[in-house]
């Protein structure tokens, strides 16, 4: 089934983040249990229905694959994109969203974990504190 | 346009009485006259009352087994084909899902008289929640009415396809779209709005049929003057009697200004009672599927409304599912039937709600008469309290009680209801209603959402599956006694029956299945008398007409809709398509995308034998 592909080459210009910089960003166990901040990032992803354009597994639909984009997008550019949007390409600005302004770093961590292949797609749970 | 009587009239009346309509288009006649002639299929339901019944009986229970394909036609479009064509005189009017093409087909030789192919912005497609369906056209006063996905209402000259007027009904940028068929009642075109998953505020809108001018807008939520209710005169069933709704009946049931994103969209099948001059319809789910975020009854989502056709003022309203926790939209069709209840003849309205209850109300007063489960496995409520009119909710199956981020299991029915939009049919001979149903349960996990214009405003993750502890299938086709609130017979189906039923005076009822079968069963006991496998799943409504002395029965074949969204949109994750993708994944074993019209008739030998 062909979808309406508005291929967005998100952030291909700013490939400066080192590969291992994301290790401290998030903690993950068994692929589905994450730290509190990353969990809020995933909840923000879910609440804003990002999967509608970027795919349930961040694989890309109308919007670009975030698995690919997060390999090259700097944290600063990620912040700019999510806050200001790319209205000409159909990406809304989320700077009026309380969840995004509070949790954008967690969202970045979550997406980085997905892009790194460390966090599994789908439902996430908190790391049990014992 | 005042020249309705000037359209080709040559011999139309004579032709129809002789059962010979080869030469004349009967378009000059009023809609009510056209509906009265069973050779036509002049509205989506065949009449104003949503009966979906035909007096034609050349095809009957004794010969239906010999039904054959008479002709077919590709619509040229894939994805879900809901609704049905219209037939008026010698012309069949065919419609398609997005991009909503319209073709006028000459029944004499199946050639095209004209084509209308609108140009719509494809941006509308991603904001259509449950496939790019369109539920069909309306006819009135020499015009064909098309309600495009992008919310443009178009009136076409029925003879030429020329655009006579257009009206803009909403804004796709904020998630407003249309899937409903427009309905012509008297001198008005009534239409609604979709977008309950995008924080859209629902309303019913009336346009003048001749000029396209907006006459009234009746909102589902908000201040009284926008609801078109009279706090003293608009009645509702409460405390065992009808009482005025009172001031601020909607806004006092919402927190703050949440009613502005309140849902209550209006994408179903409407009905009209010319004697009472009342329009009947239902409203959809309240905005966000996470009930914790919107405390209150959320009126008037999930409501049956009766409104004056001329002014839009509500005579009565009845909310079936206050404070929805399951997405049980109340938009399903209202069947207007006259029943004998407890020895008294009652002008009734029968409605099979998504929530699994079959309701019978007095359509004149709004009095609640019957509310019973039409699927015995429905479990979210034990019953409807007949005094308050409210469901008695089982806390075990209440995501609003357990709260966000808790996954509630085995709620029956699933969000797509014991029945969705697929319209039922009233058998005027037996007095029973033939109902295509779903037999599906779900898990439901609500979560916190925030509104962004044009983005989904859902807030729940769902999975769907066949009802546990039953026959293993996802549907039933049932006969219902609306006076008693009882199932008379029930025929299990592998998948939901997502196709509208058609009952005829030949003692048979037709419907389609998601695997692609069109079936005819006996109205007496549901026994299967005939079936034929079409190329794709059927979610369209079966219709019938007569041409050249021959009865035809037809349906669209084209899988999609909410149940078929996985196939239509190429989705694969179990929770995608609002939970439908996993539940219906077995469909891929039986069918694939399509888009065609199938029309059946008896061979000449069978027709001779039956005379």
Q: Is residue A2 part of a domain?
A: no
Minimal Cα–Cα distance from A109 to chain B, Å? 20
pLDDT at residue number B610: 54
Q: Specify which residues B218 forms β-bridges with.
A: B204
Q: Is residue A21 part of a domain?
A: no
Task: Determine whether the interchain pair A49/B456 forms a contact, defined as Cβ–Cβ distance below 8 Å.
Answer: yes
**Which of B460, B414, B456 has the alpha carbon at shortest distance from B437?**
B414
> In total, how many domains does chain A have?
1
* DSSP, res A93: P
A43: which chain B residues are within 8 Å (Cβ-Cβ)? 447-448
**Which of B517, B540, B469, B605 has the alpha carbon at shortest distance from B83?**
B540
Instruction: Count CA within 13 A, CB hemisphere, residue B371.
Output: 24
Q: Classify the complex by whether its ipTM is higher than 0.85, answering yes or no.
A: no
Size of interface A-B (CB pairs under 8 A): 53
CB atoms within 10 A of CB B532: 16
Task: Determine whether the interchain pair A62/B576 forms a contact, defined as Cβ–Cβ distance below 8 Å.
Answer: no
Kindly report the pTM of this predicted structure: 0.91
pLDDT at residue number B284: 98
Whole-angstrom distance, CA of residue A25 vs CA of residue A101: 18
SS3 B187: coil
Q: Is residue A15 part of a domain?
A: no
Q: Is residue A57 part of a domain?
A: yes
Q: What is the mean pLDDT of chain A?
A: 83
Which chain A residue's Cα is nearest to B78?
A1
CB atoms within 10 A of CB B357: 24
Q: Is residue A9 part of a domain?
A: no
pLDDT at residue number B123: 86
pLDDT at residue number B500: 98
| Alpha-carbon distances, residue B52 vs A17, A103, B46, B445 (angstroms) | 64, 53, 5, 37
CB atoms within 10 A of CB B395: 8
Q: What is the mean pLDDT of chain B?
A: 94
Neighbour order of strands in the sheet with B543-547:
B68-74, B596-601, B550-557, B543-547
Q: What is the mean pLDDT of residues A41-51?
A: 93
pLDDT at A19 > cutoff 70: no
B324 is catalytic: no
Task: Determine whether the interchain pair B447/A48 forms a contact, defined as Cβ–Cβ distance below 8 Å.
Answer: no
A94: which chain B residues are within 8 Å (Cβ-Cβ)? 452
Q: Is residue A72 part of a domain?
A: yes
Q: Residues 6 or more apart from B285 whose CB is under 8 A from it?
A: B196, B263, B264, B265, B301, B302, B324, B327, B328, B329
Task: Determine whether the interchain pair B126/A53 forms a contact, defined as Cβ–Cβ distance below 8 Å.
Answer: yes
Task: Determine whether the interchain pair A48/B452 forms a contact, defined as Cβ–Cβ distance below 8 Å.
Answer: yes
Q: Is residue A77 part of a domain?
A: yes
Which chain A residue's Cα is nearest to B127?
A52
Q: Specify which residues B438 forms β-bridges with.
A: B475
pLDDT digits (tens, 9 = 90+) for A83-115: 999 988 888 899 999 999 999 999 999 999 999
pLDDT at residue number A61: 85
Q: Backbone phi, then psi, for B26, in 5-degree steps?
A: -90, 30
∠ CA B421-B424-B426 to the nearest 5 degrees?
Answer: 155
Of A47, A90, A98, the CB nearest to B447: A47
CATH number at residue A119: 1.10.760.10
Q: Is residue A1 part of a domain?
A: no
Minimal Cα–Cα distance from B399 to chain A, Å? 17
- From the candidates B78, B97, B124, B126, which should be mutated to test the interface with A, based on the most A CB atoms within 10 A? B126
Active-site residue, from B47, B273, B327, B507: B327
> In three state form, how does the secondary structure of B134-156 look?
CCCCEEECCEEEEECCCCEEEEE
Task: Determine whether the interchain pair B126/A62 forms a contact, defined as Cβ–Cβ distance below 8 Å.
Answer: yes
Segments in chain B below pLDDT 70: 1-29, 608-611
Question: What size, in residues, is chain A?
Answer: 130
pLDDT at residue number B566: 86
A96: which chain B residues are within 8 Å (Cβ-Cβ)? 452
Which chain A residue's Cα is nearest to B122?
A4
Instruction: Residue A37: give the domain boundaries.
Output: 26-126
Minimal Cα–Cα distance from A18 to chain B, Å? 32
Minimal Cα–Cα distance from B178 to chain A, Å? 19
Of B122, B448, B576, the CB nearest to A43: B448
**Which of B145, B30, B28 has the alpha carbon at shortest distance from B86?**
B145
Whole-angstrom distance, CA of residue B40 vs CA of residue B545: 5
**Which of B142, B156, B146 has the alpha carbon at shortest distance from B26?**
B142
- From the candidates A54, A56, A82, A122, which should be mutated to test the interface with B, based on the most B CB atoms within 10 A? A56
pLDDT at A21 > cutoff 70: no
The torsion defined by the Cα of B363, B207, B181 and A52, in degrees rounded to 10, comes to: -110
């Amino acid at each position: 089934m062909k979808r309406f592909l508005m291929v967005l080459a998100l952030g291909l210009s700013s490939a400066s983040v080192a590969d291992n910089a994301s290790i401290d960003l998030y903690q993950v166990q068994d692929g589905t249990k994450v730290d509190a901040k990353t969990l809020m990032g995933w909840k923000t992803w879910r609440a804003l229905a990002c999967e509608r354009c970027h795919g349930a597994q961040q694989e890309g639909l109308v919007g670009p694959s975030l698995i690919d984009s997060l390999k090259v997008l700097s944290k600063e550019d990620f912040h700019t994109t999510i806050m200001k949007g790319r209205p000409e390409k159909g990406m809304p600005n989320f700077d009026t969203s309380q969840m995004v302004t509070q949790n954008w770093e967690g969202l970045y961590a979550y997406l980085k974990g997905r892009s790194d292949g460390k966090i599994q797609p789908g439902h996430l749970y908190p790391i049990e504190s014992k | 346009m005042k020249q309705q009587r000037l359209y080709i009239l040559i011999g139309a009346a004579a032709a129809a009485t002789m059962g010979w309509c080869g030469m004349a288009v009967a378009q000059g006649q009023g809609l009510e006259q056209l509906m009265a002639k069973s050779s036509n299929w002049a509205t989506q339901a065949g009449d104003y009352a949503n009966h979906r019944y035909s007096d034609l009986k050349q095809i009957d229970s004794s010969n239906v087994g010999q039904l054959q394909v008479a002709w077919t036609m590709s619509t040229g479009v894939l994805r879900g084909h809901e609704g049905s064509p219209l037939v008026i005189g010698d012309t069949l009017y065919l419609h398609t899902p997005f991009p909503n093409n319209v073709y006028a087909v000459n029944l004499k030789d199946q050639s095209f008289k004209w084509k209308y192919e609108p140009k719509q912005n494809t941006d509308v497609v991603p904001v259509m929640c449950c496939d790019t369906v369109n539920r069909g056209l309306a006819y009135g006063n020499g015009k064909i009415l098309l309600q495009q996905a992008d919310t443009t209402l178009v009136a076409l000259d029925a003879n030429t396809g020329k655009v006579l007027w257009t009206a803009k009904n909403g804004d796709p940028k904020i998630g407003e779209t249309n899937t409903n068929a427009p309905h012509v009642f008297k001198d008005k075109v009534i239409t609604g709005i979709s977008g309950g998953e995008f924080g859209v505020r629902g309303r019913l809108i009336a346009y003048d049929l001749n000029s396209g001018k907006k006459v009234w807008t009746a909102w589902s939520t908000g201040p009284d003057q926008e609801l078109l209710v009279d706090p003293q005169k608009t009645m509702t069933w409460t405390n065992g009697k009808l009482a005025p709704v009172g001031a601020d009946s909607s806004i006092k049931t919402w927190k703050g200004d949440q009613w502005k994103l309140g849902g209550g969209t209006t994408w179903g099948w409407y009905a009209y009672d010319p004697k009472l001059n009342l329009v009947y319809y239902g409203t959809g789910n309240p905005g966000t599927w996470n009930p914790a975020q919107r405390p209150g009854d959320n009126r008037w989502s999930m409501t049956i409304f009766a409104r004056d056709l001329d002014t839009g003022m509500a005579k009565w309203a009845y909310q079936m599912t206050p404070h929805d926790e399951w997405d049980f939209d109340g938009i399903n069709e209202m069947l207007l039937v006259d029943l004998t209840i407890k020895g008294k003849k009652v002008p009734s309205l029968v409605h099979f709600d998504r929530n699994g209850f079959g309701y019978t109300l007095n359509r004149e007063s709004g009095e609640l008469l019957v509310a019973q489960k039409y699927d015995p496995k429905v479990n979210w409520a034990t019953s409807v309290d007949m005094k308050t009119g409210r469901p008695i909710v089982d806390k075990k199956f209440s995501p609003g009680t357990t709260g966000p981020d808790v996954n509630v299991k085995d709620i029956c029915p699933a969000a797509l209801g014991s029945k969705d939009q697929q319209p039922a049919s009233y058998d005027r001979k037996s007095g029973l209603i033939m109902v295509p149903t779903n037999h599906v349960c779900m898990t439901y996990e609500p979560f916190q959402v925030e509104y962004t214009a044009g983005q989904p405003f859902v807030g729940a993750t769902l999975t769907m599956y066949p009802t546990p502890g039953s026959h293993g299938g996802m549907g039933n086709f049932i006969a219902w006694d609306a006076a008693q609130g009882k199932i008379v017979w029930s025929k299990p189906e592998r998948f939901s029956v997502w196709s509208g039923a058609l009952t005829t005076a030949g003692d048979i009822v037709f419907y389609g299945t998601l695997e692609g079968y069109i079936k005819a069963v006996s109205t007496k006991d549901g026994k299967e008398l005939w079936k034929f496998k079409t190329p794709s799943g059927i979610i369209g409504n079966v219709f019938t007409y007569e041409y050249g002395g021959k009865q035809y029965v037809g349906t669209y074949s084209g899988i999609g809709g909410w149940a078929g969204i996985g196939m239509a949109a190429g989705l694969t994750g179990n929770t995608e398509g609002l939970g439908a993708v996993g539940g219906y994944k077995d469909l891929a074993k039986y069918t694939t995308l399509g888009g065609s019209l199938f029309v059946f008739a008896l061979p000449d030998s069978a027709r001779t034998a039956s005379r």
